[in-house]
Structures are given as structure tokens and as C-alpha cells.
Chain A
Amino acid sequence: MSAAIEIPYVSRERPDTGLYNARLGVWLFLASEVMLFGALFSTYVLLRTGAETWPSGAEILNVPLATLNTFVLIGSSVTMVMSWASLQMQNFARFRLFLGLTLLCGLIFLVAKGFEYHEHLVHAELPSHSTFFAIYFVMTGLHGLHVVVGLIVNGYLWGPGAKMWRTDPTRFTNRIEVAGLYWHFVDLVWIFLFPTLYLLPGK
């Protein structure tokens, strides 16, 4: 009567919904994240339309570095989905390689971001300087925080978490898929953040 309980549909899919639990869970989480970043985009729009003047990214941000970062993050999305595909092909070594590359790209992204921030701070371009910098730091900062969390999760799955491949490969593959969905979302947010902050013309 007090044996450990078994939650169904952790690995296999429930027939009528076609989903395993974590896949539904992560999509619900991503929906809430859409609303979170959506509120920040609303803020950007409102602050910009209410402002007399608004700088273009080219004037005050490091567009080349951010462009590089965009390539890096997109690349990490490719390697992330490739790591999941490798597991589906039962190739654990390739999975490790691709997930490792994903981690590396993520780290490069953060280092570049850190460099960008540092440049702004030493030139007294603080969030308090203007509403542009305020929304710039909050949007990229929150995004960066999401990158950090993604790296921690992916790092765990690359390291100690990978033991599950031997005991429960289906469940482990699902975990990589779920982590991948989160990581792609982080990439997706940046795909919108980058042009909004760095490329839009000023006024």
C-alpha cells in the first residue's frame, strides 16, 4: 500500500493526447515565457513611442559583436537538436559531442555579452542613463539569465545526468528533447531581441 508510486506517461506517450508529461509541461512553461518577454516587448514599444528621440542600435551598441553572438546562438540551436537526433540514432558519443558544442557556444555567448556590458559600464552607460539603456539591460539581462539556466541544465545532462542513458534511455532522450525545446526558445527570443535592440532605426 505504501510502495513508491508510478506516474504514468513519463517516458511513453498517452495515447489520446500523444504526449508524454514533460513535453506538455515544457510547452506550457514556454507559453508563460512568451508572456514574460512579451511584456518586455510591450514595454519597449510603449517607451519608444512615448519618447521624443530614440537611438538606433548602431549609434550606441556593439552591432558586430551582437551579430556574432546571433550566429553563435543559432549554431548552438543546431548542435542542440543534433544532440537529440544523435540519441535517437543511439549514438551516445555524438550526443555528447554535440551537447558539448552547445555548451561551448552558450559560454561564448555569455562571454561576449559580458564584454559588451563591461564596455557600457566603463563608459557610464548604465541602465539609469536612459530608457533605452534601461530596457536594453533588462531585456538582454533577463535573456542572459535564461542562457545561464540553460547552461546549468545542459551541463547537468552532459555530466552526471547522462548516467540515465544506461538505465532508462527513452526517458533520457525525452529529457534532452525537453531541454532542447527550452534552449531553442532561448534562441527564438534572441532572434527577436537582436533586431529590436540592435538593428531598428532610431527616431
Chain B
Amino acid sequence: MNAHGTESVHKQAKIYKIVGGVLFAATAATVAAAEWHHLGITLGIFVAVLIAVFKGSLVARYFMHLSAERKLIYWVLALTAFFFVAMIALILWTHGDQQGQPHGIFTTPPRAAQPAATRN
């Protein structure tokens, strides 16, 4: 890894700055997108997550050199990603699929109205 010639490191340095610029632009975009209220809730969440994933992959790929990383690291991260997704998905699934409710996976079951969730 330290066998990079100085030239290629210069190139890398240029790439870092470009990626930084793209990240700035994407940040501006995501703030702007949040202003488009006509998107609705689901689409709004989807767009926000999409842009975040895009930004995150840039950081991972270029700043953390994940694109040039070893297979072992990929496997560890892939395993982690799987468990991360499984944790969220399965918790959500149990929330949606409750006894006595129509079979709703990933839906919010109708619930007895709780008192307003703020503390006086």
C-alpha cells in the first residue's frame, strides 16, 4: 500500500478533493429535497435515504479506500450489513405482525390512541 508512487498519490489527492465537492453538492441537494413537501412522506424518506447512501458510498469508497480493500474486509462488512438489515427488518416485522391483527408485515397496526407523547 505504501508502494504507491508519488504521482499516483497526487492523482489520489485530486480525487479526494473532487469527491469532497460532490459530497458538498449532494448535501445541498438533500437539504433542498427536504423542502419539496409535495413529495409526501414515503417518497421523501426514500429520497433522503437514497442520497445518504450515495454520499456514504463515496466516503467509504474513496476516503476509506474500500474500493481497493482486501476481500476479508469486504466479507466482514457484508456480514455486518446483513445483520444490520436483519435486525431492523425483523424488529419492524414483529411490530407489524401482531396477534389479533390482520396479517400486516411492515405495516403499522391500528392501535388504541395513546395519550399525546409529550411530557408536561
A contacts B directly (C-beta below 8 A): yes
Binds B, one of A47-55, A107-115, A144-152, A157-165: A47-55
A37 to B10, CA, bound (A): 34
- Please tell me the number of chain A residues within 8 Å of chain B, measured between CB atoms: 60
Contact-residue size bin, chain B (C-beta under 8 Å from the other chain): 35 or more
The reply to whether the CB of A128 lies closer than 8 angstroms to some CB of chain B is yes
The reply to whether the CB of A119 lies closer than 8 angstroms to some CB of chain B is no
A89 to B56, CA, bound (A): 27
A89 to B108, CA, bound (A): 55
Cβ contact within 8 Å between B59 and A191: yes
Interface residues of B in 88-103 (CB under 8 A from A): 88, 91-92, 95
- Given the known interface contacts A24-B73, A52-B113, A78-B17, the answer about A58 and B34 at a Cβ–Cβ threshold of 8 Å is yes
Minimal Cβ-Cβ distance residue in B for A182: B64
The reply to whether the CB of B9 lies closer than 8 angstroms to some CB of chain A is yes
Cβ contact within 8 Å between A184 and B24: no
B93 CB → nearest A CB, Å: 11
Cβ contact of B20, chosen from A42, A67, A78, cutoff 8 A: A78
Cβ contact within 8 Å between B27 and A39: no
Chain B, interface SS category:
helix
Chain B residues with Cβ below 8 Å from A45 are 88, 91-92
Chain A residues with Cβ below 8 Å from B16 are 78, 81-82, 85
Chain A residues with Cβ below 8 Å from B55 are 191
Cβ contact within 8 Å between A70 and B59: no
Cβ contact of A35, chosen from B12, B59, B83, B114, cutoff 8 A: B83
Cβ contact of B59, chosen from A57, A71, A88, A187, cutoff 8 A: A187
Cβ contact within 8 Å between A19 and B52: no
- Given the known interface contacts A27-B77, A67-B27, the answer about A130 and B118 at a Cβ–Cβ threshold of 8 Å is yes
Cβ contact within 8 Å between A200 and B45: yes
The reply to whether the CB of A63 lies closer than 8 angstroms to some CB of chain B is yes
| Residue of A13, A188, A192 with highest tally of chain B CB at under 10 A | A188
- Selected A-B contacts with CB under 8 Å, 7 pairs: A46-B92, A52-B114, A74-B20, A82-B16, A88-B6, A199-B33, A201-B41
Apart from A31-B79, A38-B84: 16 A-B pairs, beta carbons within 8 A? A27-B77, A31-B77, A34-B80, A34-B84, A35-B83, A67-B27, A70-B27, A77-B59, A81-B63, A85-B13, A191-B55, A191-B59, A192-B56, A195-B30, A199-B31, A201-B41
Task: List 7 A-B pairs, minimum CB-CB distance, nearest first.
Answer: A78-B20, A199-B34, A195-B48, A31-B80, A38-B84, A201-B44, A18-B70
- Identify the B interface with A (CB < 8 A): 1-2, 4, 6, 9-10, 12-13, 16-17, 19-20, 23-24, 27, 30-31, 33-34, 37, 39-41, 44-45, 48-49, 51-52, 55-56, 59-60, 62-64, 70, 72-73, 76-77, 79-81, 83-84, 87-88, 91-92, 95, 108, 111, 113-114, 116-119
